[in-house]
Amino acid sequence: MELISFVMLVMCVLLGLPIVWLLYMSRSPKEMEGIPGSLGWPIVGESFSFISDFSSPSGIFNFMNTRQQRFGKVFKSFVLGRFTVFMTGREASKILLTGKDGLVSLNLFYTGQQVLGPTSLLQTSGEAHKRLRRLIAEPLSVDGLKKYFHFINTQAKETLNQWSGRKVLALEEASTFTLKVIGHMIMSLEPTGEEQEKFRSNFKIISSSFASLPFKIPGTAFHRGIQARDRMYAMLDSTISRRRSGEDFQQDFLESLIMKHTKGAADKEDSENKLTDKQLKDNILTLLVAGHDTTTAALTWLMKFLEENPTVLEQLREEHMQIIANRKDGTDLTWSEVNNMPYTAKVISETLRRATILPWFSRKASQDFELDGFRVKKGWSLNLDVVSIHHDPEVFPDPYKFDPSRFDALLKPFSFLGFGSGPRMCPGMNLAKIEICVFIHHLVIRYKWKPLEKDDSVQPTLVRMPKNKYPIMVEPL
């Protein structure tokens, strides 16, 4: 905190005027005066219109669009307690996402920083970030994922076996499936039983604490999130110590990180590659958090878009029926079939474009730099508006149409950011694609489905999901 802010804080508290302090803190930094935009009301800024647009069907697009028309592609605002510069366009994404020479770092909310811990991949930058990425790259590569295929396939079939002739909440079902998959991959959790239940309930509390108010007071969602995180860490501690004592050997993600961590396990590897227990736990939790809601949301949106676009569903079903027809031996889906579903891959990309599950990417300037003719100062929050990039009519004509054929040809760089780009591009994208391909295969060859209500509202959480959890009636084909 700057000295002047500290003095103001002390004076305000002493004078019993915390409100004056809040007013003081929500004043615009002087250097921001050159950036166009409105900061809204004192203290709350433009948070209310941001939140209300955020949970509308078109998401923050409304908020962005009205301001982009008034102020241009770069504008400032004060939302959710932060002075923020919003930007859009391929040029801005190139600069912010490639983040050359340590220009920017990831900008997590305070709640996320506290829950995930300081050694999380999301809180590291530079060399430390590169090192962690190297460690998780191999188990998340297509080859590294092959050993989990059987489990993913079995879970998808078992989930869908329950659907015939029933009303289901698609989002809840997708969530159970993706959590079983990631729990198994990461720490060989059995798909049912007490451990799975504990894991599931703690994870849900952690997940909902991210979008909570940052008050660590007993009874608040944030406080419950921290407690659930501690229980999850206790679970991990006992698993790690069992593994270390040789009681339990599993071929999972945790094991591959422990092997890298244990002294003497890899003599040739330099000590740089060893992770502490804290790093292990923070990063296991990070993968869970980053990988679960996103994949759940993608699966749910995909089902919704398919139902709303029958010709796309027909063509997709055709691809999957053809896979079955081409099978020479065996009756079940194989690893090589999953890796050869060209139309399904385009449907997934189009889903990520239309839904834009992560509507903005948040960064913090690590140094002063120039962008679109504006001087950005070290420490500023910078938000890249991905929704506008994904709905730019020059790149995606008729942008609201769900049309997977847009991905027939190669797109211009930085125009599609479903999994991000640059050094922070999603390391879990192969896993997400495999989970979705397997699930969709079994879904479309067996069932048709209809939504039980017409509601396009979106949950006001960081990851965009249908608010009503997409209730559907499922019938066999």
Determine which residue in the list 37, 99, 225, 291 makes contact with ligand HEM, applying CB under 6 A. Answer: 291
426 is in an annotated binding site: yes
Alpha-carbon distance of 348 to 273, in angstroms, equals 35
Cα–Cα–Cα angle for 467, 396, 451, rounded to 5 degrees? 30
Q: What count of other Cβ atoms lies within 10 Å of the Cβ of residue 246?
A: 7
Please tell me whether residue 432 binds ligand HEM under the rule CB under 6 A: yes
Determine which residue in the list 290, 303, 371, 389 makes contact with ligand HEM, applying CB under 6 A. Answer: 290
Cα–Cα distances in angstroms (integers) from residue 266 to residues 137, 233, 251, 256, 276, in the given order? 17, 26, 17, 11, 15
User: What x-and-dash track marks residues 213-252 binding ligand HEM by CB under 6 A?
Assistant: ----------------------------------------
> Residue 238: which residues within 8 A CB-CB, separation 6 or more?
none
Question: Smallest Cα–Cα separation from 207: which of 278, 115, 126, 299?
Answer: 115
Question: How, if at all, do strands 447-451 and 369-371 pair?
Answer: unpaired
Please tell me whether residue 295 binds ligand HEM under the rule CB under 6 A: yes
Say if residues 280 and 329 touch (Cβ distance below 8 Å).
Answer: no
Q: What count of other Cβ atoms lies within 10 Å of the Cβ of residue 315?
A: 15
CB of 274 to ligand HEM, least distance (A): 20
Q: In the range 85-124, which residues lie near ligand HEM by CB under 6 A?
A: 106, 121-122
Determine which residue in the list 280, 357, 458, 472 makes contact with ligand HEM, applying CB under 6 A. Answer: 357
Which of these segments, 18-26, 46-54, 238-246, 285-293, binds ligand HEM (CB under 6 A)?
285-293
CB of 419 to ligand HEM, least distance (A): 5
Please tell me whether residue 466 binds ligand HEM under the rule CB under 6 A: no
Say if residues 253 and 187 touch (Cβ distance below 8 Å).
Answer: yes
CB of 418 to ligand HEM, least distance (A): 6
Please tell me whether residue 163 binds ligand HEM under the rule CB under 6 A: no
Nearer to ligand HEM, 160 or 185 (CB): 185
User: What x-and-dash track marks residues 245-284 binding ligand HEM by CB under 6 A?
Assistant: ----------------------------------------
Please tell me whether residue 428 binds ligand HEM under the rule CB under 6 A: yes
CB of 253 to ligand HEM, least distance (A): 9
CB of 254 to ligand HEM, least distance (A): 13
Say if residues 372 and 73 touch (Cβ distance below 8 Å).
Answer: yes
Nearer to ligand HEM, 12 or 384 (CB): 384
Total of chain residues touching ligand HEM, rule CB under 6 A = 24
Determine which residue in the list 64, 74, 236, 426 makes contact with ligand HEM, applying CB under 6 A. Answer: 426
Which of these segments, 85-93, 269-277, 337-345, 421-429, binds ligand HEM (CB under 6 A)?
421-429
Alpha-carbon distance of 406 to 402, in angstroms, equals 9
User: 104-118 b/e with 16+ CB inside 10 Å = b?
Assistant: bbbbbbebbebbbbe
Say if residues 468 and 156 touch (Cβ distance below 8 Å).
Answer: no
Please tell me whether residue 470 binds ligand HEM under the rule CB under 6 A: no
In the bound state, the residue with its beta carbon closest to ligand HEM is: 428
Nearer to ligand HEM, 42 or 422 (CB): 422
Q: Helix (H) and strand (E) counts for the chain?
A: 19, 10
Alpha-carbon distance of 358 to 350, in angstroms, equals 14
Which of these segments, 65-73, 274-282, 327-335, 423-431, binds ligand HEM (CB under 6 A)?
423-431
Alpha-carbon distance of 230 to 252, in angstroms, equals 22
Alpha-carbon distance of 86 to 385, in angstroms, equals 7
SS (H, E, C) 152-203: HHHHHHHHHHCCCCCEEEHHHHHHHHHHHHHHHHHHCCCCCCHHHHHHHHHH
Cα–Cα distances in angstroms (integers) from residue 94 to residues 86, 396, 423, in the given order? 15, 18, 11
Determine which residue in the list 287, 323, 389, 443 makes contact with ligand HEM, applying CB under 6 A. Answer: 287
Please tell me whether residue 352 binds ligand HEM under the rule CB under 6 A: yes
Question: Smallest Cα–Cα separation from 432: which of 315, 318, 345, 322?
Answer: 345
> Which pair of structure tokens corresponds to residue 165?
């002739």
CB of 432 to ligand HEM, least distance (A): 4
Please tell me whether residue 59 binds ligand HEM under the rule CB under 6 A: no
Q: What are phi and psi of 364, to 5 degrees?
A: -125, 135
Q: Which alpha helices (DSSP H) does 327-371 contain, by range?
A: 335-338, 342-355
Please tell me whether residue 361 binds ligand HEM under the rule CB under 6 A: yes
CB of 231 to ligand HEM, least distance (A): 21
CB of 402 to ligand HEM, least distance (A): 16
Nearer to ligand HEM, 396 or 419 (CB): 419
CB of 219 to ligand HEM, least distance (A): 30
Which residues contribute to the site for ligand HEM (CB under 6 A)?
106, 121-122, 133, 286-287, 290-291, 294-295, 298, 352, 357-358, 361, 418-420, 424, 426-428, 431-432
Residue ranges at the known binding site for heme? 426
